[in-house]
Amino acid sequence: MAKIISNREIAPDTYLMAVQGKYSGKMGQFYMLRSWRFYPLLSRPISIHDINDDSISFLYRVAGEGTVLLSQLKTGDELHLEGPFGNGFPELKGKVAIVGGGIGAAPLYYAAKALGSSSEVENLDIYLGFREEPLRLEAFEALANKVRVQLGGNVTELVNPNSYDYIITCGPEAMMEALYKKSVGSSAKVYVSIERHMACGIGACLVCTCETKSGNKKVCKDGPVFLGEEVYHG
């Protein structure tokens, strides 16, 4: 069991929770979290928002019974974590754009941190779209020279795929699909991070399936990161 350092509501229904301990994980991977014993039955898959020497943090939106319970945790309360699970984003080089929508920004902070410090990455731009209020804008701004924010509209309109070698994205499916479609024929390869309800989190139970060009994939193990062309082939 790990101890909660802090758990703050940073925007309506959106919490930033820091947990004490040494944790590992690549950008785009996730942990299965629970702060309760048996009910609700399933743990909640939450992406890594950030890892430091002595803590890990999660940025999550309250969406159901499990995240309500997580949001009620106070400093010093206990949390059970299993992970890191999933493939995560690949190591990238050249010109990279990060595109996030809503709570999809959560794993992209850790990704921006990793990519921003990579000697292989020549240029890193960040595009974030939110319905009303930006999430952790200052933190993102500390990681890249160019951070553009779209409130209420369509963030994909700001992105010119031909300016990049790679684009990584996480957010609503419609946004990611639009971004992938816009990138077809451009210089950019698009990696998308998919969300599904999960049970085991490790690839054993087959409930988080995503249909891809090469058949059914397990979002928890083969993903959550896939090439856009694999997922949006239809």
Partner 1 sequence: MANLKVQFGSITMKNPLVMASGTFGFGKEYGQLYDIERLGGIATKGLTLEKRSGNTGMRIWETPSGILNSVGLENPGVEAFIKEELPYLNNLNVVKLVNIGGKTLQDYVDAIAMVSKEKADMIELNISCPNVKEGGMAFGITADSTRRIVRAARNATQLPLVVKLSPNAEDIVKAAVVCQEEGADGITLINTVKAMAIDIDKRKSIFDNMYAGLSGPAIKPIALRMVHEVCKNVSIPVMGVGGITTWKDVVEFIMVGATCVQIGTANFIKSTIPLDILEGLEAYMVQEGINSLEEIRGII
Q: How far is the CB of 45 from partner 1 (least distance, A)?
A: 11
Out of 6, 20, 160, 209, the only residue in the binding site for partner 1 (CB under 8 A) is: 209
Out of 11, 42, 137, 227, the only residue in the binding site for partner 1 (CB under 8 A) is: 42
Q: Does 63 bind partner 1 (CB under 8 A)?
A: no
Q: Which of 94, 135, 96 is nearest to 112 (CA)?
A: 96
- Looking at 50-58, 94-102, 155-163, 202-210, which segment touches partner 1 (CB under 8 A)? 202-210
Question: Maximum distance among all alpha carbons in the chain?
Answer: 51
Residue span 77-96 as binding mask against partner 1, x where in contact by CB under 8 A, dash where not? ---x-x--------------
Out of 54, 65, 122, 157, the only residue in the binding site for partner 1 (CB under 8 A) is: 65
Positive or negative torsion for Cα 56, 60, 65, 68: positive
Residue type, 50: D
Out of 157, 204, 214, 233, the only residue in the binding site for partner 1 (CB under 8 A) is: 204
Distances, alpha carbon 86 to alpha carbons 52, 128, 165, in Å? 20, 23, 24
Measured between alpha carbons, how far is 205 from 127 in angstroms, rounded to an integer?
35
Number of chain residues interacting with partner 1 (CB under 8 A) = 27
The single-letter DSSP state of residue 120 is T
Measured between alpha carbons, how far is 234 from 225 in angstroms, rounded to an integer?
18
Q: Does 227 bind partner 1 (CB under 8 A)?
A: no
Report the interface residues with partner 1, using CB under 8 A.
34, 38-43, 65, 80, 82, 197-209, 211, 215-216, 221
